[in-house]
Chain A
């Protein structure tokens, strides 16, 4: 099952929230979370329950062993950690990169959900054992850990929730009406991002990057739409995940930081899917942070590892290597110079570089990428914009404008500030704006559910 499954949104989620209110104890809420999580996993792939149980048992036992061994033998604890890493990686490869689930040809919604979710899951499971090895206490009560391993709130595409962060909330939490309302809002916004904005952007990407219909604007807008679809799909699921957490009394950190152009390309890489990059950074880069050359080399390795986590395919690994090279260059030479550049130049630098590097992921072959890259400067273009792309843009203009407002963080924060000021001016203004927001969210919810029904998800 996925978060955008109609059964989940209309039945499992409301029921689980209502039932979890019958008792305020954390143990009861954890039990409801476990049951809901198992239904959630088993609905789509019953074998997933076995995989999750396997993960749970193995990681729980290894963490207990590490907890006992690490005081007396550091090498033994490290060996157990490596064993756990191998176990997690092997299941990750078998489950996501083998024939169990077909490899996604393109970054589409349905094809990427399960592999991405599995990537997050493996990372979460391993992070628990890693934290125990680094000094955290191993969890002795298996029910708490089982909640962490099976709950639907932690299940999907990010953020990667570390056990050490969520442990206090697993032991004691309380969800009030405001949290439930806020959680509901996040779910609606997340669904809208996935079902409406990402869906429209996918259409624009397909129309713009049509191989037989290369056009100048198609190359630019198509690739921008491709990045946008990837961003909104992941960030939408993260928001749904956070909303689910809030409805059940969990508070998670955000997974997407606004783009800081002063931090250059490194900041862009760090800001996307922050919990994942932060984990890899912590495990691979931080131990060598003091040594300049070594840390730069580890930053390169870190980029490759993140790319492999996304997809174990040649284009993605190549993109990861190129991104790593740019990050190394910035760390060693360019960081200061970039921060001194004017903001417009910095944004232009980021846009062109990210399009050229991450555009590789869109094309399976170098030929396709080269043709698209030449199309960016007008070589081989048939015309400025294709009829198909024009139709898609005109049909989804409002959606694209909304997406732009969300992505361009200065514009978003400016608008949010203006609304806040207006709200604070009087009680009536406050009520009016809140009413409009509520109506808007209700309309979004109806639109999302209609999209789900039409898509047959």
Chain B
């Protein structure tokens, strides 16, 4: 009832009818359409964004192994960091994923060698086997007679470059000086140089030097191993050395004049030693690398 009066109040009899506001209707329609479009755009954007975030999370979870690959083999604990193993594995991993061609790597090695970056002078000694000591690079003649020079073209040659590795050696905490080396006071010194190997190379290299008083076995490496592996074990009678990633395939022995052996080790997996070796290791002194050769 009240509504009726109200209606009559709004539309009194005889009053002219309100003209239809077509323009206003049009504007209202447009506003409605705009609002609808804006709402649907917002929903569209929200749904697509959520989908994108969901996809990103899925991709991240699926590829998590790729991101944490470095930590799989070697976790960055105190020992690894101090010995340089972790950084070496990291470097090796990064290098292996770079799209560097073999030629570029060889050129890089050659430039290091040629420019003398990190090269060290070392005293030469007569050897029965044909070995070449060039600018601190210690290498054996390859089976196929290749030059063995870094930057050379034969892939089968194990490139032995002391440049970068010896730098790394200096930064390692200590180097092992064997008891035998301590005992002998001869003038000759042999620095066991580190050995760089690439994944592509299939050969293994073994060098064994036996003295009257000391036997030094160096670098028994499988070239499938990461970038750099050097292993030095010294004992009076027998030598047996294995590493996690390195397997001994062959050793050759030779006798030379009494030698003082000053060995350095870097980026080496812990050597598992036989009981007899352990006893000799107990007597091994750890001396800094800076100790001058006597």
Q: Do A and B bind each other?
A: yes
- Chain A stretch 406-456: residues in CB contact (< 8 A) with chain B: 427, 430-431, 434-435, 437-439, 441-442, 445-446, 449, 453
Q: In the complex the two chains form, is A10's CB within 8 Å of B37's CB?
A: no
A200 and B172 alpha carbons, distance in the complex (Å) = 56
**Nearest-Cβ distance from residue A191 to partner chain B, whole angstroms:** 11
Q: Is A49 an interface residue (CB 8 A)?
A: no
A430 and B37 alpha carbons, distance in the complex (Å) = 9
Q: Is B96 an interface residue (CB 8 A)?
A: no
Map CB proximity to B onto A172-213 as digits: 1 under 8 Å, 0 otherwise: 000001101110110010000000000000000000000000
A11 and B52 alpha carbons, distance in the complex (Å) = 10
- Chain A stretch 147-188: residues in CB contact (< 8 A) with chain B: 177-178, 180-182, 184-185, 188
Count chain B CB atoms within 10 A of each CB in A6, A434, A435 and give the residue with the most: A434
Q: In the complex the two chains form, is A178's CB within 8 Å of B52's CB?
A: no
Q: In the complex the two chains form, is A10's CB within 8 Å of B45's CB?
A: no
Q: In the complex the two chains form, is B41's CB within 8 Å of A177's CB?
A: yes
Q: In the complex the two chains form, is A438's CB within 8 Å of B47's CB?
A: yes
Number of B interface residues, CB 8 Å? 18
Given contacts A442-B51, A449-B55, contact A184 B45 (CB under 8 A): yes
Q: In the complex the two chains form, is B52's CB within 8 Å of A434's CB?
A: no
A441 and B55 alpha carbons, distance in the complex (Å) = 14
Q: In the complex the two chains form, is A184's CB within 8 Å of B48's CB?
A: yes
Given contacts A434-B44, A453-B62, contact A178 B51 (CB under 8 A): no
Q: In the complex the two chains form, is A446's CB within 8 Å of B36's CB?
A: no
A439 and B51 alpha carbons, distance in the complex (Å) = 10
Q: In the complex the two chains form, is B55's CB within 8 Å of A181's CB?
A: no
Question: Cβ of A446: which chain B residues have Cβ within 8 Å of it?
Answer: 51, 55
Q: Is B257 an interface residue (CB 8 A)?
A: no
Q: Is A14 an interface residue (CB 8 A)?
A: yes
Question: Cβ of A449: which chain B residues have Cβ within 8 Å of it?
Answer: 55, 59
The total of interchain contacts (Cβ-Cβ below 8 angstroms) comes to 62
Question: Cβ of A442: which chain B residues have Cβ within 8 Å of it?
Answer: 47-48, 51
Q: In the complex the two chains form, is A10's CB within 8 Å of B48's CB?
A: no
**Nearest-Cβ distance from residue A152 to partner chain B, whole angstroms:** 17
Nearest-CB residue, chain B, relative to A9: B52
Q: In the complex the two chains form, is A10's CB within 8 Å of B44's CB?
A: no
**Nearest-Cβ distance from residue B14 to partner chain A, whole angstroms:** 38
- Chain A stretch 11-50: residues in CB contact (< 8 A) with chain B: 11, 14
Question: Cβ of A431: which chain B residues have Cβ within 8 Å of it?
Answer: 36, 40
Question: Cβ of B40: which chain A residues have Cβ within 8 Å of it?
Answer: 430-431, 434, 438
**Nearest-Cβ distance from residue B3 to partner chain A, whole angstroms:** 28
Q: Is B212 an interface residue (CB 8 A)?
A: no
Question: Cβ of B45: which chain A residues have Cβ within 8 Å of it?
Answer: 177, 180-181, 184
Q: In the complex the two chains form, is B52's CB within 8 Å of A10's CB?
A: yes
Count chain B CB atoms within 10 A of each CB in A178, A427, A441, A446 and give the residue with the most: A178
**Nearest-Cβ distance from residue A31 to partner chain B, whole angstroms:** 24
Q: Is B105 an interface residue (CB 8 A)?
A: no
B43, B47, B55: the one within 8 Å of A10 (CB): B55
A184 and B46 alpha carbons, distance in the complex (Å) = 11
A51 and B66 alpha carbons, distance in the complex (Å) = 31
Question: Cβ of B41: which chain A residues have Cβ within 8 Å of it?
Answer: 177-178, 181-182
Q: In the complex the two chains form, is A10's CB within 8 Å of B56's CB?
A: yes
Question: Cβ of B44: which chain A residues have Cβ within 8 Å of it?
Answer: 181, 184-185, 434, 437-438, 441
**Nearest-Cβ distance from residue A374 to partner chain B, whole angstroms:** 43
Give chain A's interface secondary structure class: helix
Question: Cβ of B56: which chain A residues have Cβ within 8 Å of it?
Answer: 10-11
Q: In the complex the two chains form, is B55's CB within 8 Å of A445's CB?
A: yes
Map CB proximity to B onto A68-95 as digits: 1 under 8 Å, 0 otherwise: 0000000000000000000000000000
B42, B47, B52, B59: the one within 8 Å of A453 (CB): B59
**Nearest-Cβ distance from residue A27 to partner chain B, whole angstroms:** 26
**Nearest-Cβ distance from residue B100 to partner chain A, whole angstroms:** 13
- Chain B stretch 42-93: residues in CB contact (< 8 A) with chain A: 42-45, 47-49, 51-52, 55-56, 59, 62
Question: Cβ of B94: which chain A residues have Cβ within 8 Å of it?
Answer: none
**Nearest-Cβ distance from residue A428 to partner chain B, whole angstroms:** 11
**Nearest-Cβ distance from residue A455 to partner chain B, whole angstroms:** 13
A11 and B67 alpha carbons, distance in the complex (Å) = 15
Question: Cβ of A180: which chain B residues have Cβ within 8 Å of it?
Answer: 45
Q: Is B286 an interface residue (CB 8 A)?
A: no
A117 and B151 alpha carbons, distance in the complex (Å) = 36
Question: Cβ of B55: which chain A residues have Cβ within 8 Å of it?
Answer: 10, 445-446, 449
A181 and B56 alpha carbons, distance in the complex (Å) = 19
Question: Cβ of B47: which chain A residues have Cβ within 8 Å of it?
Answer: 438-439, 441-442
A285 and B266 alpha carbons, distance in the complex (Å) = 71
**Nearest-Cβ distance from residue B42 to partner chain A, whole angstroms:** 6
Q: In the complex the two chains form, is A10's CB within 8 Å of B59's CB?
A: yes
A438 and B52 alpha carbons, distance in the complex (Å) = 13
A435 and B42 alpha carbons, distance in the complex (Å) = 11
Q: Is B38 an interface residue (CB 8 A)?
A: yes
A165 and B41 alpha carbons, distance in the complex (Å) = 27
Question: Cβ of A10: which chain B residues have Cβ within 8 Å of it?
Answer: 52, 55-56, 59
**Nearest-Cβ distance from residue A290 to partner chain B, whole angstroms:** 46
**Nearest-Cβ distance from residue B92 to partner chain A, whole angstroms:** 22
Nearest-CB residue, chain A, relative to B48: A184
Nearest-CB residue, chain A, relative to B55: A449
A180 and B56 alpha carbons, distance in the complex (Å) = 19
Nearest-CB residue, chain A, relative to B45: A181
A180 and B45 alpha carbons, distance in the complex (Å) = 8
Question: Cβ of A9: which chain B residues have Cβ within 8 Å of it?
Answer: 52
A209 and B45 alpha carbons, distance in the complex (Å) = 42
Pull 29 A–B residue pairs with CB atoms less than 8 Å apart, ordered by A: A6-B59, A10-B59, A11-B56, A14-B49, A14-B52, A177-B38, A177-B45, A178-B37, A181-B44, A181-B45, A181-B48, A184-B48, A184-B49, A185-B48, A430-B36, A430-B40, A431-B36, A434-B40, A437-B44, A438-B43, A441-B44, A442-B48, A442-B51, A445-B48, A445-B51, A446-B51, A446-B55, A449-B55, A453-B62
Known: A10-B52, A181-B41. 16 other contacts (CB 8 A): A6-B59, A10-B55, A10-B56, A10-B59, A177-B42, A180-B45, A181-B44, A184-B49, A185-B48, A188-B48, A427-B36, A431-B40, A434-B40, A442-B47, A445-B52, A446-B55
- In order of increasing CB-CB distance, the 5 nearest A-B pairs are A434-B40, A181-B41, A181-B45, A10-B56, A442-B51
Interface residues, chain A, CB within 8 Å of chain B? 6, 9-11, 14, 177-178, 180-182, 184-185, 188, 427, 430-431, 434-435, 437-439, 441-442, 445-446, 449, 453
